Structure formats: structure tokens, C-alpha cells
Structure 1
């Protein structure tokens, strides 16, 4: 089978342009159809990557040939079976994990936003030559693509892929990055950090290695021969995208552990470790175990599935729980994280309006294109999915008298679907759960997925020694709860500090903020005729009697408004989890 030869060069870093060349050998087709995906796996929104193609040219035997563009992302060439060369320029100036970026400091590209597919030859092997930019002798290459023709690790040169899908599943980082290497289960792992950082390299290596070992032990094997954590460090940022043997992350440079404080376990560092855990778990759960609607992927249009609650929700359950199981955080810290997750789900009305199955199906619009009403009208399949995963774990442990757990469900999915390539449907999860429980939980399970109801966890948590309580918010603009009898003012709006004032990001349904007429994107500048900041608003309302009406001055666009704000005592919207029985807790913590 002939090879499709791709070549990419950082042709103009200052203009943020890559040049891509594709050499297509002679073939049996009179026409060839070249297209770029509209979206990429793991990010469920139409991205229209083709909008970044600046120029497009095709030639045979060094002579230009005509082509026809048939839609926003597709070009048709009449070749009559002859070899053809295609060359195009890509504009790359997106710092996210999804597309491509290039300047004179670093380069990055996801193949799905960069490499055109030759549809008629999509299963042919591909080669990729990555050209070293002139004058940037300190730049290196980081990618999970297999190296070829003597190209050494981190070198510019030749790489290969089994087919087009393999080619676009291996993102590439270019630049003078920092690398930390370690082995887990005899598999080489690489922590790549693009951008200046001050992190404790030894601690990063040890902590992430523990998480990787936990996930490999859970599934019983590593499905890759090497793994790459490619992290772009910014002043402020957060995100991740999974691939079969790598992940691309965005984080703040100060999220990493401080070498001057070896005992400190900051919330930001825990969040970064949870992100690493989440994306690594995806190497099994969604990259290989995947919904039947994704087998194979159709990247030209939206592909709907009701199962993202499992692929993101179960992964979200294990990402934090694994921090504890791997010995990185104490159990009380895990309960604090879980409490905040529960609060995020229970505080809004969206959970009572949209099922987690519908949330999965509607991800293309309602989740990835959230409006200001999101907290009140939709539910996240990540967070509520993680609570369903917790319910499943505790339910399986209870019914099997501690013999099985969600670990066993994931192992079964790996053997029956991940290793075989057979896509899942909802019944597969239900049937495996019934087998592990040795009883029929189909009705309960189905209702949790298809009805907009709360996940019943209080009794299940009590059976593993954890007390579930509802508590008032500890303070404004926070998810933390605190069970004290003293008055705590409640606004029902979340906001962020800006130079202009407090910019409203969330207004909760039926809250004092909603009743006052506050809206998302309003900028609060004064309350009770006093200029406010995040800190001063808390102090002001702490000293204001309950139910007193205050004038709230806000800018909505460029118009100044005065709204009547009546602050009440905080309702019990937060969740608090505490250990009641240490021995029962140990039974839950146990890996089965």
C-alpha cells in the first residue's frame, strides 16, 4: 500500500504561518477528494478548521492543475490516477489545545486542524517530515508519532503513521521546552513543559507517575508504548484534550508545585494533577472504549451520543478519587473536592430540567455553546456524570458485599470493548452493572440517566462511613459550605474582579440577585453608595441586617442602572461531607 507523504515547515513564524505539502503517489482514482475535519474527538463543537487555510495549490509533474472547492472544507482534484502534490499555508495563532499555534517562541499543531485527508486513500500509511525552522537551532520536537529513518527522540525529521486517523491523533509541540522523563510499568513517559515555569521537577515526576501507575493497575495494562504530557504554560489558563498516547494541556505556570515549599499541596496543584489524571484515564475511556456512534469517527459533522455522561463523568470521578488512592492527597481533601462537585450540581436548577442523557446528546450546542442561563437550565454531564459514577461504585460495592466495584465495570469494558474496538451503548453499562451486582438495578440506573432527578447518594455514603449534609455557603462567590448558625449573607450571583468592578458571571434562579434584576455581564460598581471589590462587598454585606434593601449600582454595557438589592440569609445550597466511620471508609477506598 502506497504512502501519503506529508511535510510541514514553520515557514513564517512572525506571521504565524505553517506550510504543508502533501505528495500523493499514483493511484487508481480519476479524482481525489481532500478535506479537513470540522471538529476533533474530545471537543464536541464544530470548529471549521478549514477557515485557517490561507492558500491552496495543486500540481502534477510540477505543472499547476485546476481544482474545485465543493464546500467550506473540501477540495476535489481531477488527477486521472497520476501522482499529485498539494501545498497550502495555515494560519496558526490559537493558544488552545485544539488547533495550531506558531510564533518565534514555540510551535504547536493538532493534525486535525492542519493536515488535509485524502478521502479515497484514508487507510493508506502516512509519513510526516517536520522541517527544522531556520535560525531556531535550540528547538526540539515532542510528539507521540513513531519516529522513522533514524530520527531520534526530540529531533526534527521523519515520522510515520498507520493511516490518516493515526496521523491526526498525535499532536506536535515545537520549541525549546523542558522535559521530565520517567518510566511506569516499563513504558516511557514524557512531561513536556512549553513556557517558563518554576515547578518542582522531582515532585512532578513522582506524583504523576503515581497517577499513571494507578490507572494502569486499574485496567491491567498500558495500551501504548510511550506516553506524552504536552503542557503549554501561560500566565493564566486551564484545559486538556486526550489522545491515544498523549494529551495536550494548558495550565498556569504557577499551578506547578513550588520547590521552596515541598510540604505545600496547593489547590491549584491539586487541580493540575486532577487534569493530568483525567486526560490519562481517557487513554482507555473514550480513546479506545468509546460509544458506538464514534466507531468510526465522522469528523465532517456533529455526531450525537447519549453516553458522554460515562466517558466524561466516570473519568471525572476517577480523576479526583485517584489522587487519594495514589497517596497524593489525604482523604479529607478528596471529600472537600467531592463536596464542591456535588455543590456545583445541586446548587442550580438545571439538574431538575435536563437529564444527563440529554446533556450528553446536546453537548454540541447547550454545553459547548453555553449561554448565561446555563447554571439554571442545563446540567453538566461531567459533574453529574461523576455523581452517577459514584452512585454506581457504591451501589455495586453494596450489592456485591464488597466483592466488586466500578473498577470491575471499567475492566470489563476494557476487555469487551476497548481491546476489541466494539462501540458501547447504554445497555452495555447497565448489563455489566447488573452482573456485578448480581441483581437487577436497571430501573434505578435508567432513571438516573433519563430523568432530571437528583442522584440519591446520602444513604449510600452513610453505608461507607461518610455523612452527607447540606450547609449554607461560607461566604459570597464561593462553593464552600460551613454549618454555623450565624447569619451569612446570600446574593445568589457569582462574579469576578475586574478593573471596572465586579463582573457578574452567574445569576442563580430565584436568588436575591435575580429578583433585583442583575444579569450576567453586569458590572457592579457600588452597593449602598459604597464602591465595592470582592473583599469589600463581603464586609459590607456581613455588616448589613438581613432583608434590608440596598441600592446596587451597575453598568450594563455603557448604561448605569440602580437596582434594588435585598440580601437574605444563605440557604443550604452547599454540600459538606465528613467521615463518620473510619473502618467503613477504608472499605470504600480499597481498590478491587
Structure 2
């Protein structure tokens, strides 16, 4: 029996989607529920809080509705055809939930479509109706179209089951679009708001990344793919799906058509984001931990393997920009150095292992407190360095015969394609086979110990120096190997009209010793009003360690302390190539 869904974007001023479900009851009592989270974003979201006006009708009469928990409704005494109707408040322009206004609409099925629990394996039909207020709106989604529905049009869409229905996010509006072909697969680029980007250039660059990833795994596991990007004044993020991704970016991150040779850091970051989410179509959407097979979206699903799924993906997202010919190897090493700096600048790596970081994704990572820099390590950044170590280790021990590429292909063949979940031992066992020796002890130590990752020595054997360095500026991750004095505060901040809002504080730093904390507003140092320009100039003019008074607001109270800048510690990383013949053993695709 097919379950029929309908969604209408007519109440744009109220930011409400009207949703209905028609199904045939199998039991006299039917439970309906909405997921508490969605794959790829490991935090309880409680999507049901946005559901309003929930009603049900059976044979023309209202149905008794029993509330089971915060996301579950039970319909009692039902038989035959049941119609459920409700509204979803949609005003969150993230990659996770739903949004609707006069300009555009968007929804993830996990936050929008309620599941009939006894029939979640049944086929689904979705009718997306056109809005009353706009005749120029179109539809962008990876969901399969019914025979009567053309690409980009409102109408009927189909899914094999509830899991597929909620894995196909939908954007509607007057968006810009371009498509390209890779290995016979149509790829769509969709941008849901105003921009000035060079569409042809983006299609060309992203096509190179898609070709790299398809070639690495040996096949594309989808018939079409959609890159759907929400553009804002400022924003960044992405969420993977089996044949699409939802991205968030700043509208001026895109390449300037007036400067066709310019390759800005912002555009590199956008391309890296596209690369990251596309790689996820294999690594996490299909190759996934056993704990995710199948997903239980009603409660947290714990795994210690996110270092592999996000970390390996994070390694390839930037490295692929080099391998696809978009950036130079020198540019790639600069990006890699920033990643390493994010790991090495804090003490979190010495307090939490990467497997613990993975396990506590639901709390310590996705709900980071002001102490995060000092007490946790990111399974994204450290995971990407572990992927680097693993890639170089396999290359070295196999005498250049194999690399991390082969490990990913083996995972695809043995776990992704047959939809079998992985264990940590599966990664280790494949690595042992490719290395031709047992590296389990070293590998396990890296995964389960809270200590610095030993990558400097192996990088040197691949013609690359990995060196501890000073920070060049107060509020930047840029580093420099130098003996010269570079003032260090140990806090990052954002400019505010009143002063500088503290966003991070490194423990035992000058900022920490002065008592500064996250969310404080630093308004004056040595009786000078603080701006980004003033604090940099003052730091460079004061003698090292000289204490001066500082004033800051915490909540609405003005506090006073003493602050002294010091020379930057060697908490950053620089990575430089010194022997091209050696680095070629890493740079070359095997």
C-alpha cells in the first residue's frame, strides 16, 4: 500500500508548510512519529517542536489522538483510509530543517514528513504543490520524479520507502541553475538566492572534483546528483544525502566572473565544501558504521568511527582540489597546515582521543561549551591528520604500490555496495593487508590515545617539513617559522560596536591569566578603546610581558584586570615541500 504525502508552500508570510498524509490503517491503533535527528548531523534536534495543528480524520470523523512522547502520536480506533494534516513552522535557513518565505522554500523530509511506523517500508508518493503567490518558482530535488512530472516542476514524486523519502531534501523558488555531465551522470548546481558568481567556472571546477571521486571509488552510485546551495550574507555548512547535498555559503564566496583568473580563499573553501559532501555520497551515506545500519532516528546512535567518516572525508576534500588540478601543491600544504594548527594549538588533543571525540559527538562536539578548545579534539581535523598518516604509511610500507585510495575502494566493495556496516577493526585489517605487515599496534595507539599525532617524521620521508611555528597575528591561524617577536594574546575575538567579543580563550594564555572568558566584551586595554586595528597596534608596541590595565564587560558588569602580551608560543604549524622527488611519492595518484 502506498502512503500519499502532500506539501503546500502557500502560507509564506507565516512561514508554514501545509502537510497531509493519506494511508490505509493496518491496525486499529497506528503510531505516527517524526525523527529526533537526521543522518550526518549528530545532535537531537526535536523536529516535532515545529509541528502545529495536528489533526486526523477517519471515515469523515475526527480521530482520537493520544500523545505518546514529544515526537509520537497514536491514532486510536481507526480503520480503512486515514487522513492526517498538520503544519510545519519553517523559518530555519540551515541545512537541517525547513524554511519558507516570499523568496524561497526548503525542507528536509526528516523535519517535515511524519512516519506511519507500521508502514515505514511502504512506497511513498509526494505531491509538491505550486505556491499561489509566485508563478516563477521551480523545484530542485534528488527525489525521483513520477512519469507525469518533469525536472524542476511541481507535481508528483516517488520514493521506495520512508527512509528514501526523508533522504531527498527539496528546494523551491526562483533559483539559478546549471548542470554538467560526469561519467554519464547529470549533476545539477542550484543556488537559492541572489548571487554574482561565475556559473560556468563553478560547473567546470566542481566537475573535476566529481570526476576525481568517481574515479577513486570506481563508480557513481546514483543516476543524478544535486548540489543545492543556500546563499546568505555569511554562512557555511553542508549536509550529505545519497544523491544530493545541501550547502550553505556566503553569496560572495562564489568566483567573480569579472576576474576569471582569481582564486580566492573563500572560493577554495566553497569548492572544498562541495568536495567534502560529494565524497560523503560513498563514505557515510553508503559505507557507514554498524551502529547506523539501519539508522534509529528516535534516539542517539553512538559510534567511535566518526574519525574515519568525517576525518577521511576531510582529508580528501582539500587534497582533491590539488589532485584535480584546481590548486597547487604549495596551496594544498598551506591549507593542510591550517588544519594541523587547529589540532595543535589547543590542549584538547592531549585530553581526548579521537575515538572518544567520535563517541561524544552528540554532546561534547555538537554542543560545544566555551572550554571546547582546551578539552576536546575534533574528529574532523584530527581525523583528517590520521587519514594523512594512514595514506603515507600505506604508501611507504607497500613501496608505493597502494595508498589510502585502495583502502577506500575495498571499503566500498565489501561494505558500501552490499550495505554492510563497518567496525573499527575493518579499517585496521584492510590497512594491514595493504601495508603487507601488521600496523595494528600503532594504528590503535593513534585512535585510542590522547596525545600528539606523529606525522612530522613520516612527512619528512615524503619530502615535506612539518614544523611548529608562531602565530603571525593576534586573531588569525596564519603561522610563520621565525625567531622574531610576534605578540600573542591567546584569545580569538569578533569586532563589535562596543569592543571585541571573545570567542575562544586558550588555557594558560595571557587572556586566560587576565580572567577573560568566552562572550566577554573587551572594551579597553591601557585605557584605549579596543578595535581589531587598535589591539594589534598596541600589542606590537608594548614590551613583551608588560602588564597594563584592561576593562571588559561580562553580561552587564564592567570588570577590570591586568593584561600582558607575550611572544607567540610554537602552537601553530607550517608545512613546506623541500624535495619534489620524495613528495611525488605522496602527490601521485596510485
The reply to whether TM is greater than 0.5 is yes
Alignment match, 2:3: 4
SS in 2 for 1:472: strand
Q: Give the drift of 1:80.
A: 4.7
SS in 2 for 1:561: strand
What does residue range 363-512 of structure 1 map to in structure 2 within 5 Å? 363-512=361-510
Unaligned runs of 5+ in 1: none
Q: Give the drift of 1:526.
A: 1.2
Does structure 1 retain, via aligned residues, the 8 Å contact 2:479–2:574?
yes
Partners of 2:403 and 2:219 in 1: CA distance? 18
Match of 2:106 among 105, 108, 112: 108
Alignment match, 1:202: 200
CA deviation string 1:410-451 (max 9, x = no partner)? 000000000011100100000000000010000110111111
Partners of 1:567 and 1:490 in 2: CA distance? 6
CA deviation string 1:437-484 (max 9, x = no partner)? 010000110111111011100111011110111111111111111122
Q: Give the drift of 1:78.
A: 2.4
SS in 2 for 1:575: strand
Match of 1:250 among 231, 248, 251: 248
CA deviation string 1:30-75 (max 9, x = no partner)? 2211000000000011000000011111111222121211111111
CA deviation string 1:236-270 (max 9, x = no partner)? 11110000000000100000001111111111000
SS in 1 for 2:165: helix
Partners of 1:509 and 1:57 in 2: CA distance? 53
Alignment match, 2:17: 18
Q: Give the drift of 1:146.
A: 0.4
What does residue range 30-69 of structure 1 map to in structure 2 within 5 Å? 30-69=28-67
After superposition, the CA RMSD in angstroms is 0.8
Unaligned runs of 5+ in 2: none
Match of 1:335 among 308, 311, 333: 333
CA deviation string 1:358-399 (max 9, x = no partner)? 000001000000000000000000000000000000000010
Partners of 1:570 and 1:87 in 2: CA distance? 60
Alignment match, 2:185: 187
Aligned length: 590
Partners of 1:483 and 1:393 in 2: CA distance? 26
Alignment match, 1:228: 226
Partners of 1:203 and 1:119 in 2: CA distance? 45
Q: Give the drift of 1:561.
A: 1.4
Alignment match, 1:29: 27
After TM superposition, the score normalised by the length of structure 1 is 0.99
Q: Give the drift of 1:81.
A: 3.9
Higher mean C-alpha displacement, 578-587 vs 13-22? 578-587
Does structure 1 retain, via aligned residues, the 8 Å contact 2:344–2:571?
yes
Alignment match, 1:127: 125
CA deviation string 1:470-506 (max 9, x = no partner)? 1111111111111222211111111111112111011
Does structure 1 retain, via aligned residues, the 8 Å contact 2:58–2:78?
no
Does structure 1 retain, via aligned residues, the 8 Å contact 2:26–2:118?
no
Partners of 1:430 and 1:163 in 2: CA distance? 34
After TM superposition, the score normalised by the length of structure 2 is 0.99
Alignment match, 1:171: 169
SS in 1 for 2:247: strand
Structure 2 residue 573 is the aligned partner of structure 1 residue 579? no
Match of 1:260 among 246, 250, 258: 258
Does structure 1 retain, via aligned residues, the 8 Å contact 2:487–2:540?
yes
Partners of 2:582 and 2:30 in 1: CA distance? 63
Partners of 1:328 and 1:79 in 2: CA distance? 62
